[in-house]
Amino acid sequence: GVENLIIGPYGNFLVKETTNPKVFIATGTGVAPFYSMIKKSLEIGVNTTLVFGSSLISDDIAYPFFKEFLTFV
């Protein structure tokens, strides 16, 4: 079968201000560090995707902070 190896994070935990599309993956309170990175990326017009896991959006503590710039796919 196919195996995936996930390691990290290592190094600097920041996003470079480039026009490259960004993809952020988080769940629970692990999404907190991404808030400012996602906000800045969207402000400068970068295509930005957040993959976030939650059982119910109504119970999610991060939703109120991200709802201003979310679109659901």
Instruction: Dump pLDDT digits (tens) for 9-44.
Output: 677 777 888 899 999 888 877 888 888 888 889 889
Measure the CA–CA gap between 62 and 5, rounded to whole angstroms: 27
Q: Write down the mean pLDDT value for the chain.
A: 82
- Quote the pLDDT of residue 73: 58
Closest residue by Cα to residue 23 from 55, 57, 46, 56: 46
The model's pTM is 0.67
